[in-house]
Amino acid sequence: MLGRDAGEYYMAAGADLTVRPALVQKQWYSLRFFGERQSPAASNTDVSLPHLFDGERDFRTNIVADRADQFGGALTLSHTSGENPASFRWGATLGLEAAGGDYEYFRPKLTLRSSFPLPGSLMASLEGSAGTSTGVLPPQSEWILGGASTLRG
């Protein structure tokens, strides 16, 4: 009711096949093959509780997505070190995605994370990600910076 929606929406229909370890095992890799039809999604509402109290508060405008028929694959490799949640732990995830179809691109990304104890019973966590792309991406596949999913404090 009072939350902020930072979603970037578009329509997608398709299928994928994912290969990964059994859910009860360590999830150290994932291999995904996909085919997808993507299209723009229109906003169908301007009603929100914050807007009732402040007429200037509107929803963020949605991205302008392109129509795209895409197929491709993605490989994700992960490593974590440290079992004790009260001591130093770190992890890394490497993601590689390649797609063809109406748009052809390659997107690698790397995420590093760590958590460590502070005085008392406090813990701190740090996480950083970086990525790039080659080729031509539809707007809905570009890297988007901002919002709760990419910037946190």
At which residue do the structure tokens 């732990």 appear? 89
pLDDT in tens, the chain (153 residues): 555 566 678 899 999 999 999 999 999 999 999 999 999 988 777 677 766 777 776 666 777 889 999 999 999 999 999 988 889 999 999 999 999 999 999 999 999 999 999 999 899 999 999 999 999 999 888 877 665 556 555
pTM: 0.80
The encoded tokens of residue 125 equal: 């966590």
Whole-angstrom distance, CA of residue 121 vs CA of residue 33: 43
CA-CA distances (angstroms) from residue 96 to 105, 137, 142? 11, 15, 14
Whole-angstrom distance, CA of residue 101 vs CA of residue 142: 16
